[in-house]
Chains A and B, each alone.
Chain A
Amino acid sequence: MAIAETRLIFKHIDSPGYTIDIDCYIKNGGYTTLRKAITMKTAEIISEVKTSGLRGRGGAGFPTGVKWGFIDPTKNTKPVYLICNADESEPGTFKDRQIIHKDPHQLIEGMIISCFANNVKLAYLYIRGEFPEGAKILERACEEARQKNLLGKNILDTGYDLEIYIHRGAGAYICGEETGLIESLEGKRAYPRIKPPYFPAVLGLYMCPTIVNNVETLCNVIHIVKMGGANFAKLGKPNNTGTRLLCVSGDVVKPGYYEFEVGALTLGQLIYDVCGGIKNGKKLKAIIPGGSSAKVLKAGERYKIKQKQADGTMADVEIALEDIPMDFDTMAAVGSMAGSGGVIVMDETRSMPDCLANISEFYAHESCGQCTPCREGSLWMKKITTRIRDGKATVEDVGVLKNVADNIAGRTICAFGEACSWPVQSFVTKFKEEFETVAGNGAKK
C-alpha cells in the first residue's frame, strides 16, 4: 500500500485490547489534554483552533474557529450552549459510529474542552435514535467522567461547572441539519429554521447563542490543543488542514473507514490502493465522493482545475477522476463536494437509474415537508426516477426530471433542497443516454 494512514482520531480504534472504559482511555493518555486546556485562557484555545484551520467535518466544511468566534463573550449576556451533532445519517457515512462505539471518551473530552473554551455550562449530545447502544455507551462514559470530576460541578477544582446530556433522536435524517436538530432538541418536529435570522450562533437553542459541531470536529479539538494549532495546520494542505476520516462503501474489494491527512491521497489511490480496487475484477462506473448528497463523478471524466505549482504560482491543469486529491477545495473545484467523507463506489454493471431511484426514495422519505419545492419535488423526483428505472417512462421524462431538480435548489429553507437535487441533476446530466434508453424500455415490450 503506497500511502500510509495518519491515525489521529482513529489511533485506538480497533486496536487489540483497547476498551471503552475510562481507565483504558486514561492509561492511553486520555484527559491529559483537558488538564492542559483548563490552565489556558479560553481566548487562547479559540485562537489555537483558528490557527489550526480546522474545518467542520459534518458536511459543509465551515471553519470551526470562525464559528466559535461569532459569539463575542464581551457582549453576549445569554447562556451559550454547545450541541454535538451525532446524528450521522448522510448515506455513505459511518465514521462517527466508530468513535461513539469504540472510543467514546475521546468525544467526551473533545466536548468538555470545546465547552470550556466557549464558556458553555450546559451541552447536549444529539445522537441518532438508531444508535441505542451508542447512547448507552456515551451515558456511561459521562457517568465515569463525572465520578472522576472531569465533568459536573467544579471540574478538576477549577470552579468550572459543565453538564453534558445525551439526547436521542428518533429516525429523521433532517435532525442532522443544525437548526432542525435544535427544534428537535426543543421537543418539536425537526423543522429547520430560516437563516437569517436563526443562525445558531445568534438565535440557537432556546433562542440563545449555540455552537453545533460534528463528532469528528470536536475530537479534532483535542489534537489541536495537544499539538498546538500551528502544528496541526502542518497536516494536510493550506485551507484543508488536519486529517480526514474517509468511509468507503459499495463495489470495492475492501470497504471500510480510513484516516488520512487531508488531500494526502487521490481518489484513485483510495479506491485502488487502499480499498483493493473494484470487486470481482469489474471496472469503475461512478463514484459519489462525499455522502449521497454530493454530485456523482463519472469514470473517464476529466476536470479543469487551478492547481498550485511547485514554484507557488497557480496554473490551469487538467486532471482525471483518479487524480482528484481528497480535499475540500479540489472536490468543490471538480463540481462535487468532500461533504461528510462518505465515498460510494459503483461498478460497470450498475444501472444508474436504479441507483438514483434508490437515492431519490431516501430524500422523498426524509423531506420535512415545510417547503413546497422540496416536499413536492423530492416526491416527484422519486416517482419519475422509479418510472424510468422500470422502463415505464418516456424519453421526455428525463428532461422533466431534470427540470424538477433545477427548480428546488435555492428555493428552500434549508440545504436539504440542494442535497436532494444535486444527485438528480448530476446523474441525469452525466448519464443522460442511459436514462433515455432505459426510460422507454418497458414500453417496447
Chain B
Amino acid sequence: MSCEFKISQEFVKKVDETITHYPVSKRSASLPLLHLWQEEFGYVSNQGVEWIASKLDLQPINVFELVTFYPMFRDKPAGKIQFRVCRTLSCALAGGYELFDHLKKNCQIEGDGHHGPAVSPDGKYSIEFVECLASCGSGPVLMINDDFHENVSNDKANELVKKYG
C-alpha cells in the first residue's frame, strides 16, 4: 500500500534548516523531521522512516520506534479533516464523551477512536480521543486539524463540521 512520495527541493531545504537547530547531535532532529514529514505527506510511511533515518545517519528502527511511541505520529493516513477530542476528566465532566459520540455519528465514523484515529468510509473525516489538551477550564475542547476550539456544544460542533466542509 505504500506509495512513493515525491520530495520537493523546498521540503529538503526546510529539513536542512531544521537540522541546524541541533549543532550537538543531529539525532535530536528526529521529532522535528517526523513532524515535517507528516505535515507534508499526511502520515509517516516506510519511505518516510527510511528517508529521515538516512538524513540523520540513523538506522530506520531508531526512527520507526518513535512513530510507534509518540501518539501524534501515525503510519497510516487519517481523514482530511481530523477531530481530536479531549477525553480527560475536566472535559469529561463538561460533556467530552457526548461530544465525541455526537461527532462520530454526525460524520458517520465507525470504530472506536480511543487513541488512534477512526476514519470515515470516504476518508473525509477521522476522529480520535486524546488526553488533556491543557484547556480544562473551557471544556469540552477539541482540535480540528491544527486549530483549537473550546466550549464545544453539540450545536457548535455542527457549525464547525459545516465550516470545515
Which A residues have a C-beta under 8 Å from some C-beta of B?
A: 88-94, 96-97, 122, 128-133, 165, 167-173, 184-190, 206, 247-251, 255-257, 288, 292, 342, 344, 346, 350, 355, 358-359, 361-362, 365-366
Contacts and interface: CB of A to CB of B under 8 A. Distances in A.
Interface residues of B, number: 44
A187 B65 contact: no
The A contact surface, by secondary structure, is mixed
Contacts of A350: 93
A91 B69 contact: no
Interface in B62-95: 62, 65-66, 69-73, 84, 87-90, 92-93
Contact of B25 (A184, A187, A251): A187
A32 to B, nearest CB: 29
Contact of B136 (A129, A206, A249): A249
A344 B69 contact: no
B135 interface: yes
Given A92-B132, A93-B134, A170-B73, A187 B93 contact: no
A365 B136 CA distance: 19
A121 to B, nearest CB: 10
A170 B70 contact: yes
Contact of B31 (A91, A94, A169, A358): A169
A128 B148 CA distance: 14
B136 A92 contact: yes
Nearest to A363: B131
Contacts of A361: 87
Contacts of A247: 136-137
Interface of B: 21-25, 27-32, 34-35, 56, 62, 65-66, 69-73, 84, 87-90, 92-93, 115, 130-139, 143, 146-148
A250 B25 contact: no
A117 B73 CA distance: 37
A188 to B, nearest CB: 8
Nearest to B91: A249
A358 B87 CA distance: 8
Contacts of B22: 165
A359 B89 contact: yes
Contacts of A250: 89-90, 93, 136
B93 A97 contact: no
A170 B31 contact: yes
A152 B143 CA distance: 34
B115 A344 contact: no
Nearest to B58: A187
A97 B135 contact: yes
A172 B69 contact: yes
A355 B89 contact: yes
Contacts of A165: 21-22
B19 to A, nearest CB: 11
Given A89-B131, A122-B23, A186-B28, A358 B146 contact: no
Contact of A91 (B30, B34, B65, B89): B89
Contacts of B89: 91-92, 250, 288, 292, 344, 355, 358-359, 362
A257 B72 contact: no
A365 B131 contact: yes
Nearest to B26: A187
